[in-house]
Amino acid sequence: MSKKKTPRRPAVTPASPCPCGRDETYRDCCGACHDGRAAAPSAERLMRSRYSAFVVGDDRYLLRTWHPTTRPAGLELDSGQRWTGLEILGATGGSAFHTEGTVEFRAHYTLQGRAGSQYENSRFVREDGRWLYVDALLPA
Classify residue 24: in a domain, yes or no.
no
Give the H/E segment covering residue 62. Answer: helix 59-64
Confidence of residue 9 (pLDDT cuts 50, 70, 90): low
pLDDT, tens digit (0-9, with 9 covering 90-100), for 47-104: 999 999 999 999 999 999 999 999 999 999 998 999 999 999 999 999 999 999 999 9
Does some domain include residue 11? no
Structure confidence at residue 105 (pLDDT): 98
Domain housing 131:
30-136
- pLDDT bracket for residue 4 (50, 70, 90): very low
Collapsing DSSP states into helix, strand and coil, what is residue 70?
Answer: coil
Q: Kindly state whether residue 106 falls inside one of the protein's structural domains.
A: yes
Mean per-residue pLDDT of the chain: 92
Overall domain count for the chain: 1
- Which CA distances in Å does 124 have to 47, 53, 101? 9, 17, 5
How much is the pTM? 0.91
Average pLDDT of the residues in 109-132: 96
> With 80 as the cut, is the pLDDT of residue 113 above it?
yes
Report pLDDT for 139: 76
Provide the strand spans (E) within 15-113.
Answer: 82-93, 100-111
Quickly state the pLDDT bin for 3 (edges 50, 70, 90): very low
Identify whether 12 is part of a domain: no
Q: 117: domain CATH number?
A: 3.10.450.50
Establish how many alpha carbons lie within 13 A of residue 72's alpha carbon, considering only the half-sphere containing its beta carbon: 9
- Cα separations in angstroms, 31 against 77, 121, 135: 19, 23, 23
Phi, psi of 63 (to 5 degrees): -70, -40
- Residue 107 resides in a domain: yes
